Amino acid sequence: MLKLVGGGGGQDWACSVAGTSLGGEEAAFEVARPGDRGKAGGGSPGWGCAGIPDSAPGAGVLQAGAVGPARGGQGAEEVGESAGGGVERRVRHPQAPALRLLNRKPQGGSGEIKTPENDLQRGRLSRGPRAAPPAPGMGDRSGQQERSVPHSPGAPVGTSAAAVNGLLHNGFHPPPVQPPHVCSRGPVGGSDAAPQRLPLLPELQPQPLLPQHDSPAKKCRLRRRMDSGRKNRPPFPWFGMDIGGTLVKLVYFEPKDITAEEEQEEVENLKSIRKYLTSNTAYGKTGIRDVHLELKNLTMCGRKGNLHFIRFPSCAMHRFIQMGSEKNFSSLHTTLCATGGGAFKFEEDFRMIADLQLHKLDELDCLIQGLLYVDSVGFNGKPECYYFENPTNPELCQKKPYCLDNPYPMLLVNMGSGVSILAVYSKDNYKRVTGTSLGGGTFLGLCCLLTGCETFEEALEMAAKGDSTNVDKLVKDIYGGDYERFGLQGSAVASSFGNMMSKEKRDSISKEDLARATLVTITNNIGSIARMCALNENIDRVVFVGNFLRINMVSMKLLAYAMDFWSKGQLKALFLEHEGYFGAVGALLELFKMTDDK
Amino acid sequence: PDGCSVGHGPPGPLCPGPESCPVCVSFAGGSLTKLAYYSTVQHKVAKVRSFDHSGKDTEREHEPPYEISVQEEITARLHFIKFENTYIEACLDFIKDHLVNTETKVIQATGGGAYKFKDLIEEKLRLKVDKEDVMTCLIKGCNFVLKNIPHEAFVYQKDSDPEFRFQTNHPHIFPYLLVNIGSGVSIVKVETEDRFEWVGGSSIGGGTFWGLGALLTKTKKFDELLHLASRGQHSNVDMLVRDVYGGAHQTLGLSGNLIASSFGKSATADQEFSKEDMAKSLLHMISNDIGQLACLHARLHSLDRVYFGGFFIRGHPVTMRTITYSINFFSKGEVQALFLRHEGYLGAIGAFLKGAEQDNPNQYSWGENYAGSSGLMSASPELGPAQRARSGTFDLLEMDRLERPLVNLPLLLDPPSYVPDTVDLTDDALARKYWLTCFEEALDGVVKRAVASQPDSVDAAERAEKFRQKYWNKLQTLRQQPFAYGTLTVRSLLDTREHCLNEFNFPDPYSKVKQRENGVALRCFPGVVRSLDALGWEERQLALVKGLLAGNVFDWGAKAVSEPWLVDSYSEWLQRLKGPPHKCALIFADNSGIDIILGVFPFVRELLLRGTEVILACNSGPALNDVTHSESLIVAERIAGMDPVVHSALREERLLLVQTGSSSPCLDLSRLDKGLAALVRERGADLVVIEGMGRAVHTNYHAALRCESLKLAVIKNAWLAERLGGRLFSVIFKYEVPAE
């Protein structure tokens, strides 16, 4: 496995950019990343600092308990939100079910899509004229939906929303009820492609958190950079960031419909950013663009383009900010929408060093909105969501598309450094059920300590070769066979790392076996907690996301197995292609939302 | 049981009797063996017997009213021994030599070791090893201790004093969740004696802590790992909320110290981590995880009591602390993490009970023998493994089978909330200090009394000295670890002294004193009754009450009680007496001599004359100078011979003499003889009279009953009197009527 992505460059992303003038960037970038593009694109790059996902940083064990009355489960973040200045969340959540229904429609894609063709496309948010025809596997959908419908009754909110919104059942939109959305495309694009905004009541509209650039000169420049004829569209570049405990996830929208006039007007450093990001797949030593995840020909906020997915370790955050400063990023007057704990941790640095004001967003909100959005636009014509058929039979187990058009209620398990578990009843109605500190960070941390490995990729590679049963004590190791009294199979793990109590066995164990045991232990534990939460919340669909699952087929299959086996087939484990990027996507969506609200 | 101690245990004077069986062995946690066996032990007991008066016309002036004889009595006792597996052979030798009688064919074994040592056991003992299911044994054992040992369960609160807070015996122990943390974790929902269900488990348990800990720290022993953990800083290894959020966690109202990702820092930071820090992080990770799962299961099954056991917990304050923290955190205080004093014995007890099913030990009540049991060790986290070893390597529990089953007094207002003891000495450091000193100072006197009670015994002095040593040691243990035997109370101190005296064959040091005083008092009875009868009704009521109180003072040589009364609801009582008679009074008697004969009996007589039936309850076994049930029978018989009222009442069963089931100077209304309870129900008792400092002040002072009650005592202890705001010999006269 390749480890040094930076190649000969040896510099890391921020450093390589630092100090160069606008004109010199391209060269610097080339030094940084010669020839690694393909590998990065293949999704299996190694990178120096950490491949570990992050996510829900607040997560952990911590707020597990916090079930606030209004939001049902979010205590800590809720406070955070208000303290951070956002009125939005607080206002939105207490809303009555009726309001939620109203909100549900646009999410279902109602307003903007008027043509039958578009209706047939699954998007709640159209991907525009070039949107792919129904993806393979879509044919299954109706069937799956039917199957999934009986699962719904558990949660009243989800059910009622589904019932009202015919779309959820048959894939067709109800007669459009055009909400007063501000992000309209104007005459040319029509309203068909604009990402739909929540038709929030005025008093519920998210309020801009930060003083906007308000000097006359700034406003003037701002206006100039805006698309002609469109008012409330944010200036480029469009970024969404999710700064986790281990990993920063960045999504970047690259407009592909730039007119000659725009091209001319595009300021130099904006152009260089675009070129830099889109012509490289790795940035510095540790930044990676997941080319295979790129969403092509997407229409966002009335513009057509590609959505790029980039990640780098959180420890490179300061260099990133430094770069922002040196690139005079603040002159672009874009709003940096950021979520994750790092949005708070680095806020001051962004302001002081780079003169950038972060728009801080709640990570769980972003996660859910991002997930729903990406699922709705699909994955370049393929479905975003999938499951494993025959999860308990290793030979017949295979990946199958799953239609998440009617996702509620769902248990959303976000596995980053730590793990957060949410019960989602509708787009805006969810609660944080619990969380655990045994997550991706624990897997990598323990693996590093036990095997001396340094990266997530390395750890997973070792785990793939190992055998955990040498490390774990199995039921049969204790009872000589099955433990019949309790119906436990002899092959079940009785004690993770239990064999390591013996010195002889410790002395003879391989690193690969240790890595595998660590992976299995962490994964099964998450599965076990998720399963209990699903039972307690009476939800039978469990959606696993987060970067812990990146290139981690072992864990995915284990989770699929665990959900199915222990529930006797009652629970279904679902996965999404863009695993760890939903928070960042959600943050980007907030950028459009903010602009709408102006 | 000296033989079994293989050189480790405190030698005891009692040899197992000839019927020592069955036997069971329980292995758990890989390194410790629990041995449970059943023995019959011979006790000396003091018996009283009326002289045969048929041939004599009159009783001579100085002749004792009855004769005392010391007899051998055989009682059943359950022994539990815990020791390290290294002593397995010595243990088996002991079983072979002492315990297995010729008819025993099977030995019960449970736990992982049952497989490991099966061949060894079968070869050595020529017995078939009957392997019992681990969890079944565990649950049977758990039910047994919860039902039979007061203050078995406790919550652990690290930063409070005391750290252990014991639960009073709950009459309804079901349903509950048992989380057994061995190498893995089993979560069992227990619904009834025989119905339980494995509801879940986790492979992340004690074995994970040990195995992973050994890999990370190169530390081999479990105890050493815990010791490392107790000194570590997990925040050096774990990624905390503040690491993710920066300083913002404060403004966000997040607790920055919460763990976002266990071992998260070792994934990103390129540095060395200390063994202590890693062990601590591991401990938190595993404890939090188990606590979280336990809470999820408790919630799913709507249970709020979760008992934790297994070698991960076993008496380790470090793990009890982290588990408690986790349970509180995840359940927001809705679920209580409970631990058990005899957790380590559950498997052995259960295996034993299974093996003894034809005897059905569950039909009996059992009492912990404080004299023969090691107390719960306080091993502060700072204590090194070597210091902790004592509790880990050798430990004893003895349970005596009680003659008759014990139950709640049916008249308790709310059995679950009844707490017999008035002052919790584990809680009240000042009182604890006072009473421990008080009992230490009284020890010489008790020893003298014990020797004097057996003038014909050659080894009385020697045994008395052993008693002194044993009780002194218990007191010292309790000074260090007040929670060693559950909640420390004046009652437990008194009971422990009785158990120790019994242990060294001083069954009744006061028998002669009681005999003499009873004789004197009996001779005074007719005169006292005559003078009482001569009084007017109202004067007589006061005189009767004063008689009860004076008799109560007598043994301490007081001449007069202190005025005014400290608690005085006499006028309410008098008012009540002017009303209709009670249907039936239950009276708990106290001292022998003047108290019972000149205080209680005239009072009983007055009640009988009013048309009230009387149940007179006396101790089953001796304790201090308290009148025992068998003595009370003789005394009643003698009084009946002098007084027609008592005579006819006895004959007509309007006066009934019963035993309490207790041998304590105090009174636990939740553990009373089943026959007494039945009688109370049958006769519809509507008045309870509790007399004496031990029964009405040290215990039951706050007891709430469903019927009227009288609590009478004279405070014969200056310190206590002052504490209660009175003087020495202050009177407590507490007449209570339950709220409608």
Confirm or reject contact between A462 and chain B (CB < 8 A).
Answer: no
Q: How far apart are CA B241 and CA B651, in angstroms?
A: 79
Does the pTM of the predicted model rise above 0.80? no
Residue among B527, B674, B672, B671 at smallest CA distance from B597:
B527
Q: How far apart are CA B546 and CA B215, in angstroms?
A: 74
Amino acid (one-letter) located at B525: F
Other C-beta atoms closer than 10 Å to the C-beta of B56 total 10
Q: How far apart are CA B321 and CA B306, in angstroms?
A: 15
The CATH H-level superfamily of B153-237+273-340 is ATPase, nucleotide binding domain (3.30.420.40)
Residue of B nearest to A477 (CA): B112
Min Cα–Cα distance to chain A from B298, Å: 10
Active-site positions of A read 363
Looking up tokens 């493994």 gives B385
Tell me which of A34-38, A286-290, A537-541, B134-138 is least confident. Answer: A34-38
Q: How far apart are CA A67 and CA A59, in angstroms?
A: 13
- pLDDT for B113 equals 66
Q: What share of chain A is helix, strand, coil (3-state, %, to 5)?
A: 45, 15, 40
Q: How far apart are CA B186 and CA B203, in angstroms?
A: 9
Tell me which of A125-139, B215-229, B529-543 is least confident. Answer: A125-139
Span B510-736 CATH architecture: 3-Layer(aba) Sandwich (3.40)
Confirm or reject contact between B186 and chain A (CB < 8 A).
Answer: yes
Inter-chain contact B208–A83, Cβ cutoff 8 Å?
no
- According to DSSP, the β-strands at B185-190 and B164-166 are unpaired
Confirm or reject contact between A452 and chain B (CB < 8 A).
Answer: no
User: DSSP letters along A254-295, please?
Assistant: EES---HHHHHHS-HHHHHHHHHHHH-SEETTTEEE-GGGPE
Structure-token pair, residue A5: 């992505």
Answer whether residue A478 shows pLDDT above 80.
no
- pLDDT for B648 equals 97
Render pLDDT for B56-114 as a digit per residue (tens, 0 to 9).
444 555 677 888 887 887 777 877 777 666 677 777 776 676 555 545 566 777 766 66
| Burial per residue of B394-419, b for 16 or more beta-carbon CB atoms within 10 angstroms, e otherwise | bbbbbbbbbeebbbbbbbbeebeebb
Q: What letter would DSSP give residue B16?
A: B
What domains does chain A contain, in order, with CATH numbers? 234-379+586-597 (3.30.420.510), 385-466+510-576 (3.30.420.40), 472-508 (no CATH)
Q: Return the HEC string of A174-228.
A: CCCCCCCCCCCCHHHHCCCCCCCCCCCCHHHCCCCCCCCCCCHHHHHHHHHHCCC
Output the CATH code of domain B23-53+60-147+346-403. 3.30.420
> Considering only CB atoms, which chain B residues are within 8 Å of A493?
184, 203
Domains B23-53+60-147+346-403 and B153-237+273-340 share a fold: yes
Question: Per the omega criterion (within 30 degrees of 0), is the bond before B175 cis?
Answer: yes
Helix axis angle, A553-566 to A511-537, nearest 10°: 40
Residue of B nearest to A509 (CA): B215
Residue among A4, A36, A32, A40 at smallest CA distance from A16:
A32
> Considering only CB atoms, which chain B residues are within 8 Å of A480?
115
Inter-chain contact A485–B296, Cβ cutoff 8 Å?
no
Render pLDDT for A234-261 as a digit per residue (tens, 0 to 9).
888 999 999 998 999 999 999 999 888 8
pLDDT tier for residue A104 given thresholds of 50, 70 and 90: very low
Render pLDDT for B368-395 as a digit per residue (tens, 0 to 9).
888 777 776 544 333 333 333 433 445 6
Render pLDDT for A336-394 as a digit per residue (tens, 0 to 9).
999 999 999 999 999 999 888 899 999 999 999 999 999 999 999 999 999 999 998 98
> Considering only CB atoms, which chain B residues are within 8 Å of A340?
244
Confirm or reject contact between B385 and chain A (CB < 8 A).
Answer: no
CB-based contact B359:B326 (threshold 8 Å): no
Tell me which of A374-388, B152-166, B441-455, B471-485 is least confident. Answer: B152-166
Looking up tokens 């800590």 gives A76
Chain centre distance of CA A91: 24
Q: How far apart are CA B92 and CA B109, in angstroms?
A: 12
Nearest to A437 among B205, B262, B268 (CB): B262
Domain extent listing, chain B: 23-53+60-147+346-403, 153-237+273-340, 429-504, 510-736
- pLDDT for A265 equals 82
Q: What letter would DSSP give residue B304?
A: -
> Considering only CB atoms, which chain A residues are within 8 Å of B292?
61, 64, 434, 436, 529
User: DSSP letters along A307-320, please?
Assistant: EEEEEEEGGGHHHH
Render pLDDT for B689-704 as a digit per residue (tens, 0 to 9).
999 999 999 999 999 9
Q: For residue A234, what are the contacts with CB-CB under 8 A and spacing of at least 6? A: A301, A334, A335, A591, A592, A594, A595
Q: Under CATH, what is the fold of the domain B429-504?
A: AF1104-like (1.20.1700)
Mean pLDDT calculated for residue range B35-40: 71
Inter-chain contact A83–B133, Cβ cutoff 8 Å?
no
Inter-chain contact B265–A445, Cβ cutoff 8 Å?
yes
